[in-house]
Structure 1
Amino acid sequence: MSTPSTVILDRPNPKVVTITFSNPPANVVTAETALRLNEIVTELESDSDVQVVVFKSDVPDFFLNHFDLAAVGDLPIPAEGELPIWTDLVVRLSTAPYITVGSIRGRTRGAGNELALALDLRYASIDNASFGQPEVGIGILPGGGGSEHLPRLMGRDRALEAILTSSDYDAAQAEHWGWVTRALRDAELDAFVDDIVARLAASDPQALAAAKAAVNRSTLPPHGDLIAAFGEFLQSLGRPGFQARAAATARIGAEVGLDFEYRMGEYIAQANQQL
């Protein structure tokens, strides 16, 4: 029997695809997550009927979380001239002709936040969604586009605060800063996203793709910057500062269990203060 995937694909109609993240209890990103997403995006490239791809989660309290650092070695090594798999996903989702929509409930951090930033439209539950880039707090660097996308959305100083402090930001603050498209009450989120998806699915596909491409010209970071970011992330994994902070956060994680994933920003700050 094959192992269940952490990414589930559904096709409610020919024009709409739904991708659901499912890796309980905390929806961390694994190598399998990256590989399955890569497969799906590759499949969609040859499907001209698709106009909208919706991303959501079936894990309570988590949309898509940080990458499981223990699984970094399981990622495929790119051939010469190829993009690293997570960078490739970010680029292909940002530039795909279809429109990508995030329906976000729960915590969204690190690699999960970077994938969310690659989506065209991000709608978040104001009642329970939050966002963060926790890497610097444990002595490494964001590697999937967080440092490249956030300044373009929020401005330099707000991006610096979010990245340097490793804090979690609720959906209301994220909307205020431009991190998400719109924050809505949880009871309103599904109906609102459904309406947006229906509007997009009924639109002319060539007009959608052309409009997205036009906006992309002035808003997306250069591919070279994203490649450099992933290289810097890998290099940072070998630094002494990461080793010490990883050990400190691991000790706290062992003490508090799953609550670490709920209050990661607080626990990372606590670990740093103990060094």
Structure 2
Amino acid sequence: MADAPVLLTRTSPRLARITFDSAPVNLVTGVLAQRLHEIVVELDADPDLQVLVFDSAVPDFFLSHFDLAHLADFPRPDAATGRQLWTDIAVRLSKAQYITVGIIRGRTRGGGNELALALDLRYASREKAFFGQPEVGTAVVPGGGGTERLPHLIGRDRALEAVLTSLDYDAATAENWGWVTRALPDAELDGFVDTIVARLAAFDRTALATAKRMINRASLPPETDLDTAYADFLETTTLPGYLARAAAPAPTGQQALEVEYRLGEFLGIAALRRQAAGESA
């Protein structure tokens, strides 16, 4: 599909790859969410697939946050499950009979980070990967599972810091905290993941799927909590705090791109400026 924001490549019956390609920053748009959901639903019925790899074709961005300016364009809930699409994607990937592996280079924030958290294995470029949940800094809350999955991985206090401060975290910190499976030198990342993927593809599919299901029982948040989180997120997009920010002029062009590169830093600066302006009014 020409100009598709999500590309599916099948390298063998056992192996497939999903590549995010929505320049300039891989925002999670309604079109991207719809196409990714279509692919994941299609792969649910695949009897041969053992490993699904995720990567990005956009330099410096793995997958960004939701495009809140166009949230009304997001697809309706999945007809089969009644679940919001982004939550449905994450649940399907977590429960899939195949193993999901992320090759993470670049900024991975908000909905993009929540998608990454739903993957089974996450391998990050030590030099190029950054992670964050910036929602609170924009007066909304995470809705795609960040508040449910992060505490399981990094602990309550670190999850609180990450979500409440809306900061960006480098790959070394993410590895130390358990946010990612491993952080590797960028030059070694692809080769390492290729070796892991080839090993998994050579094993018995039923054994892999059964072991994943067993570990899921001890580690995944309840699906009802994920549904509630998305409802909480939608509610905050109707409240005065977010609406006031949404009504303010948004940066455009090069300035908008610079904001995306330094989003965690920018949100803190913007909040302090609003506070100072309010106190001087």
For this structure pair, what is the TM-score category when the shorter chain's length is used for normalisation? over 0.9
8 A contact 2:69–2:246 mirrored in 1 = no
Q: Which residue of 1 aligns with 2:259?
A: 260
Q: Write out the 4+ residue segments of structure 1 that deviate beyond 2 Å after TM superposition.
A: 76-81, 243-248, 250-257
Please report how far the alpha carbon of residue 256 of structure 1 lies from its aligned counterpart in structure 2 after TM superposition. 2.4
Q: Which residue of 2 aligns with 1:64?
A: 63
Q: Which residue of 2 aligns with 1:110?
A: 110
Q: Secondary structure at the match of 1:163?
A: helix
Structure 1 unaligned regions, length at least 5: none
Q: Which moved more, 1:193-202 or 1:3-12?
A: 3-12
8 A contact 1:101–1:122 mirrored in 2 = yes
Please report how far the alpha carbon of residue 3 of structure 1 lies from its aligned counterpart in structure 2 after TM superposition. 5.9
Please report how far the alpha carbon of residue 242 of structure 1 lies from its aligned counterpart in structure 2 after TM superposition. 1.1
Q: Using a 3 Å threshold, how does the CA distance of structure 1 residues 271 and 254 change in structure 2: closer, same or farther? A: farther
1:116-136: per-residue Cα shift (whole Å, max 9, x none)?
A: 000000000001100000000
What is the TM-score when the length of structure 2 is the normalising length? Answer: 0.94
Please report how far the alpha carbon of residue 30 of structure 1 lies from its aligned counterpart in structure 2 after TM superposition. 0.7
Please report how far the alpha carbon of residue 254 of structure 1 lies from its aligned counterpart in structure 2 after TM superposition. 6.9
Q: Which moved more, 1:63-72 or 1:165-174?
A: 63-72
Alignment size in residue pairs = 273
8 A contact 2:63–2:108 mirrored in 1 = yes
Q: Which residue of 2 aligns with 1:230?
A: 230
Q: Which residue of 2 aligns with 1:90?
A: 90
Counterparts of residues 28-47 of structure 1 (less than 5 Å): 28-47=27-46
Q: Distance in 2 between matches of 1:256 and 1:268?
A: 14
Q: Secondary structure at the match of 1:102?
A: strand
1:34-82: per-residue Cα shift (whole Å, max 9, x none)?
A: 1111111111111111000000001000000011012211122226961
1:175-195: per-residue Cα shift (whole Å, max 9, x none)?
A: 000000000000000000000
What is the TM-score when the length of structure 1 is the normalising length? Answer: 0.96
Structure 2 unaligned regions, length at least 5: 275-281
CA RMSD of aligned residues (A): 1.5
Q: Which residue of 2 aligns with 1:75?
A: 74
Which residue identity is paired with 1:19?
I
Q: Distance in 2 between matches of 1:80 and 1:53?
A: 23
Q: Distance in 2 between matches of 1:242 and 1:42?
A: 33
Q: Distance in 2 between matches of 1:28 and 1:255?
A: 16
Please report how far the alpha carbon of residue 21 of structure 1 lies from its aligned counterpart in structure 2 after TM superposition. 0.2
Q: Distance in 2 between matches of 1:86 and 1:251?
A: 25
Q: Secondary structure at the match of 1:128?
A: strand
Counterparts of residues 85-164 of structure 1 (less than 5 Å): 85-164=85-164
Q: Distance in 1 between matches of 2:155 and 2:16?
A: 32
Matched, 1:245 2:245: yes
Q: Using a 3 Å threshold, how does the CA distance of structure 1 residues 191 and 254 change in structure 2: closer, same or farther? A: closer
